[in-house]
């Protein structure tokens, strides 16, 4: 190397070393002009869709840079398709979050191979509401209380091995498979509702609040009768409906019920993919908390009869981790219940 070239090389190196380091892009700079996709694991029209679209409508103004939050339905296998997308394929840069069925968290413990998602690896953003599950009948079926299941047949409709199956299975264990049948395969709870109204099935197991939200006319017209509720305490409005622990179940089945009921505390969980940048995760979590405290969001929720019981990311993560740490003996009982 010539002396002149060596001097130029040394000068360039010195200039590079002396230059100030490039400034990292802030969350506001990253999101400005972009969109955030909110993936909803169910078809339009159901409870998850209503909650997800309400969140999408109001969350953007609380995210730094105020991106447009766009809701996108990704139905499939009771929201498993959406959960798998978040875990494996979605961009990990803060441009995608998702809402899916919390029962996948318990199924991830009892049947991890069937889920294929490490729920502990997801980045939890927050939870929108808790929900007491119930099993109820269409009054026209003639079944109006659980005691009738000792002598009469009852057919439950549902989507897949989620709430309808697990909580229906508890009724089977209480009153016998000869009395309680479960028919799965409906694309959504809305389809199961219609099937019940048509007389294809006699009842459904699902969340109490979502029924009040989606079918208030059933209450006005006294069209349904609640047979059992799945919670530690009596749900307001269901004080005369027996809890699952009050039905003729073994102590082992009651332990399994508690395992599944624990997921009902986090009925509308929102997560981001694993590995998103920490500053953007913190911003999304703060935006979620601000959204669920936003008076405009609450006004919109009230118009749609939405019950909102927010839970921040830290508490949601604790609940998820507690479910995943369930003792193997209880997991085995719960696994048999879901078979």
- 279 inside domain: yes
Residues 250 and 193 in one domain: yes
**Pair 95, 40 in one domain:** yes
The 3-state DSSP class for residue 207 equals: strand
What residues are paired with 230 via a beta bridge?
Answer: 133
Same domain, 191 and 42: no
**250 and 138 housed in the same domain:** yes
Tokens of 102: 């919390």
Domain containing 196: what range? Answer: 133-263
The 10 Å CB-count burial string (b at 16+, else e) for 252-275 is: bbebbbbbbbbbbbbbbbbbbbee
Domain annotation covers residue 9: no
Is 61 inside a domain boundary? Answer: yes
Q: Which of 217, 232, 263 is the last residue of a domain?
A: 263
Q: What is the C-alpha separation between 226 and 50, in angstroms, rounded?
A: 24
pLDDT tier, 241 (very low <50, low <70, confident <90, very high otherwise): very high
Indicate which CATH number applies to the domain containing 192.
3.40.190.10
Chain center to CA of 132: 13
Domain contains 55: yes
Q: For residue 94, what pLDDT band results from cuts at 50, 70 and 90?
A: very high
DSSP 144-174: -SGGGGGTS-EEEE-SSTTHHHHHHHHHHHH
For strands 311-312 and 123-127, give the pairing.
Answer: antiparallel
Percent helix, strand and coil across the chain, each rounded to 5?
50, 15, 35
Give yes or no: residues 126 and 271 share one domain. Answer: yes
Same domain, 61 and 180: no
The band of 175, judged by pLDDT with boundaries at 50, 70 and 90, is very high
Note whether 154 and 43 are same-domain residues.
no
Q: Which pLDDT score, from 0 to 100, does residue 78 have? A: 85
Band (106; pLDDT cuts 50, 70, 90) = very high
Structural domains in the chain (count)? 2
Tens-digit pLDDT profile for residues 121-154: 999 999 999 989 999 999 999 999 999 999 999 9
Cα–Cα distance between 76 and 97 in angstroms, integer?
17
Q: Is the pLDDT of residue 88 over 70?
A: yes
Mutual orientation of helices 328-337 and 103-110 as an angle, nearest 10°?
A: 110
Average pLDDT, the chain: 91
Contact of 39 with 72, CB cutoff 8 Å: yes
User: Which of these three, 263, 286, 307, is where a domain ends?
Assistant: 263
Global pTM value = 0.80
Across 158-167, 217-226, 283-292, least confident range: 158-167
- Identify whether residues 40 and 124 lie together within a single domain: yes
**253 inside domain:** yes
Residue 325 lies in a domain: yes
Lowest mean pLDDT among 11-15, 44-48, 215-219, 272-276: 11-15
- 310: domain CATH number? 3.40.190.150
Q: What is the pLDDT of residues 263-313, one digit of tens each?
A: 999 999 999 999 999 999 999 999 999 999 999 999 999 998 888 999 999
Q: 46-50, 209-213, 311-315 — which one is most confidently predicted on average?
A: 311-315
Q: Are strands 224-230 and 203-207 parallel, antiparallel or unpaired?
A: unpaired
């Amino acid at each position: 190397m010539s002396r002149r070239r060596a001097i130029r090389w040394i000068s360039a190196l010195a200039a590079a070393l002396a230059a100030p380091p490039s400034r990292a892009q802030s969350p506001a700079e990253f999101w400005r002009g972009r969109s955030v996709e909110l993936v909803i694991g169910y078809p339009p029209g159901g409870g998850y869709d209503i909650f997800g679209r309400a969140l999408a409508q109001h969350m953007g103004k609380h995210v730094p840079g105020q991106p447009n939050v766009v809701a996108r339905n990704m139905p499939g296998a009771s929201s498993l398709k959406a959960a798998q997308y978040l875990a494996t394929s979605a961009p990990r840069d803060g441009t995608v979050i998702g809402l899916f069925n919390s029962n996948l968290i318990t199924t991830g413990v009892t049947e991890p191979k069937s889920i294929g998602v490490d729920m502990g690896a997801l980045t939890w953003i927050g939870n929108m509401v808790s929900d007491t599950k119930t099993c109820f009948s269409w009054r026209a079926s003639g079944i109006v209380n659980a005691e009738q299941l000792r002598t009469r047949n009852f057919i439950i409709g549902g989507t897949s091995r989620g709430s309808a199956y697990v909580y229906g299975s508890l009724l089977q264990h209480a009153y016998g498979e000869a009395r309680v049948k479960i028919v799965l395969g409906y694309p959504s709870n809305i389809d199961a509702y219609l099937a019940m109204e048509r007389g294809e099935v006699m009842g459904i197991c699902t969340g109490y609040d979502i029924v009040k939200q989606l079918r208030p006319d059933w209450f006005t017209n006294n069209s349904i009768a609640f047979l059992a509720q799945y919670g530690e305490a009596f749900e307001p409005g269901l004080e005369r409906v027996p809890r699952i622990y009050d039905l003729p179940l073994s102590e082992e089945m009651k332990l399994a019920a508690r395992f599944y009921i624990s997921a009902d505390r986090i009925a509308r969980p929102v997560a981001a993919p694993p590995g998103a940048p920490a500053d953007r995760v913190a911003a999304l979590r703060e935006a979620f908390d601000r959204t669920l405290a936003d008076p405009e969001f609450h006004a919109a929720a009230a118009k749609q009869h939405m019950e909102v019981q927010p839970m921040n990311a830290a508490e949601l993560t604790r609940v998820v981790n507690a479910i995943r740490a369930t003792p193997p003996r209880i997991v085995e009982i719960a696994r048999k219940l879901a078979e």
